[in-house]
Amino acid sequence: EILAKARSGGMRILGPNCQGLVNFADSVPLSFSASLDSDRRPLGSVAYLSQSGAFGFASFAMAAESGVGFRYVVTTGNQADLDLVDFGMVFASDPEVRLLVLYMEGLSDGARFIEMLRFAGERNVPVAVLKVGKSPTGQAAVKSHTAALTGEDEAWRTIFRQYGVIDIEDSDDIADLGKIFGSGKRPKGKRLAVVTTSGGAGIIMSDRAYDLKLQVDPLPSRTRGLLEQFVPPFGSTRNPVDLTAQVINDPGNFRSSLETVLECPDVDMAAVVLSMITGDSGAAVARDLIEVSRNAVKPLACCWLIDSEQGGKFLEQIRDEKIPLYGSPRRCAWALARLAEWTTRPALPARAPSDLGEPFMPKMPAELTEYDAKRLLAWWGIPVTREILCASLEEALSAAGEIGYPVALKVVSPDIIHKTEAGAVALRLKDEEELRNAYGRLLEKTPKARPSARVRGVVGPGRGSGGGGGVIGGERGPGAGPPGGGGRG
C-alpha cells in the first residue's frame, strides 16, 4: 500500500530494512549510521552498494579508515522499490567512479543485473561483487534477512567470469580493492617488479604474486646494470630488487632504485616492500615514495611491515597521499593481481541480435523435435546443417538433388529422442538407389521400434564439413537467470 501511494505521487523508496545512503560528492548524508560520526571520511572514487545496512556501513568505515576514499555508499535492504541495479547504472555512468563494489545476497531479475555489468564494462568501470548465500546455512539466513533469491552459486560465478567481475569474499577485500583501483593507474600487463629492504619479505611477495598468476621475471640486463649503482654488492638487482637494510644508512638509493625499476619497459607495475626502516631514514623513504608515486604512470603499491609506534607517522603520510598501502605481502599481491586480471580481461560477450523481427517461438510446435530446434538455432544466427523436411519419398529425392549427395535421413518424431537405437537414422547415402532403400527401411523399422511414435516426416541433412557432436543444456534458476552449459558429445 505504501509503495502504491509513493508511485502514484512519483516518489521512489529505498529499503525497507536498510540504513540509508550517503552521497559524499555532494555532501548529502541520508543515514543514521554511527560510521558517519567522524571527520576522517575522505572523498574518493569508490561507489559501494550493499543489500545489508549494518554490514555495508561497517565495512565502509573500516575501508575508509585504511585510506579508501568513497564517492557513494548506498544500502538497499529488502529493495521494495529501488535496488542495487538502479543505483549501479547511475554510478557506472559517473566518470569519477573508478570502482563499483556490491555486497549482494540475491536479485529477482538476473537480466537487469547482467545489463548493468555490460553497461559498466563498456565504460571501463570495474565491478567487484561480494556474493553471499553459497552454503545451505547462508542461503537460509539470506531468506530471513532480505528475502532475496540467492540463485545457484555456479551460475553467478559464470556470469562474473564472462563480464569481468572481480569476485570477492570478505570486508578486507573491499578495502584492498578500493586502494589499488582508487589510484586510477592501470597496468598494461601482469609483469610485476618488487623493490624491497628485506630479502625474506621480497621472496614472500614474489611467491604470492606467482601463486596469483603475476609474472615476477628477472629484470633485463640493462636495468640491472643501472641498478648496480644503488644496490649494495650483498643485495640483488634480479627481481625482487633487494636493497637490504643498507637503506638505513643511505636512504637516497631507495628513490633511485624505484625510479629505475618503474622506467623499465619490461615492468607493468611495482610493489615496494619495506621493513623496519625508522627515524630519519624512514621519513626520507616515505617522502621519496610519495614523490615517486606522484610522477609514476604505472601502478605502485606499498607493503610496509612496521608497527604504529615506530612507523605510524609514515603510514599516515602514505595513506593521505592515496598510495595503496597494505599490511602484508599477501594482501598487496592479491590486490595487484586483481588489478592486472581486470585490466587484461577478455572482451564482453556479444549481444544477442537485435534485428530478429517478430518472435519465432510462437511459430514452433508445442513439442520440439531436433529439426525444430535447429530451425530455432538458425533464427538466432547459429550455424546448423542444412535440412529439408520431407513427407514422401519423392520429396526426399528432390531434396537430395537440391542439397547434393552424400546425404543422411532421420525420422522426425517428438517421441523418438535416441534415433540410432530406434533404427531411425541412415547415414552417408551416396546416390538415389541408396536413398530409396534407406527410406523404405526407416519407415519399416520405426513403427516396430516405437509403435506409438508420431512421425512427422523425414529430414535430409546436407553434407557437413567435419567436426563432431556436442551438447548444450540449460535450466531456469532464480536470481541469476537461466544458466546454460555445453560440451563435446
Domain that holds residue 100: 1-183
Indicate whether 137 belongs to any domain: yes
Q: What is the pLDDT of residue 145?
A: 46
User: What letter does residue 119 receive in the DSSP assignment?
Assistant: H
Q: What is the pLDDT of residue 38?
A: 83
Q: What is the pLDDT of residue 150?
A: 44
- Whether residues 163 and 18 share a domain: the answer is yes
Under-50 pLDDT residues of the chain: 144-150, 464-465
pLDDT digits (tens, 9 = 90+) for 436-481: 999 999 888 888 888 888 888 777 765 544 556 667 766 665 555 5
- Residue finishing a domain among 117, 149, 183: 183
Q: What is the pLDDT of residue 138?
A: 56
| 203 burial via Cβ count (<10 Å: 0-12, 13-18, 19+) | middle
Indicate whether 92 belongs to any domain: yes
- Whether residues 173 and 221 share a domain: the answer is no
Q: What is the pLDDT of residue 108?
A: 83
Q: What is the pLDDT of residue 293?
A: 97
- Whether residues 266 and 391 share a domain: the answer is no
Grid cell 572523498 is found at 43
Indicate whether 292 belongs to any domain: yes
Distance CA 313, CA 301 (A): 18
- Whether residues 132 and 231 share a domain: the answer is no
Instruction: Report the domain count for the chain.
Output: 3
CB atoms within 10 A of CB 145: 18
Indicate whether 354 belongs to any domain: no
Indicate whether 374 belongs to any domain: yes
CATH code of residue 226: 3.40.50.261
C-alpha cell at 76: 538497499
Q: What is the pLDDT of residue 20?
A: 96
User: Biggest alpha carbon distance in the chain?
Assistant: 97
Q: In what order do the strands lie in the sheet with 70-75?
A: 28-30, 21-23, 70-75, 43-50, 99-104, 127-131, 166-168
Distance CA 318, CA 288 (A): 11
The amino acid present at 76, given as its one-letter code, is T
The amino acid present at 81, given as its one-letter code, is D
Indicate whether 43 belongs to any domain: yes
Q: What is the pLDDT of residue 489?
A: 55
- Whether residues 337 and 474 share a domain: the answer is no
Strand 300-304 with 325-326, pairing? parallel
Q: What is the pLDDT of residue 262?
A: 98
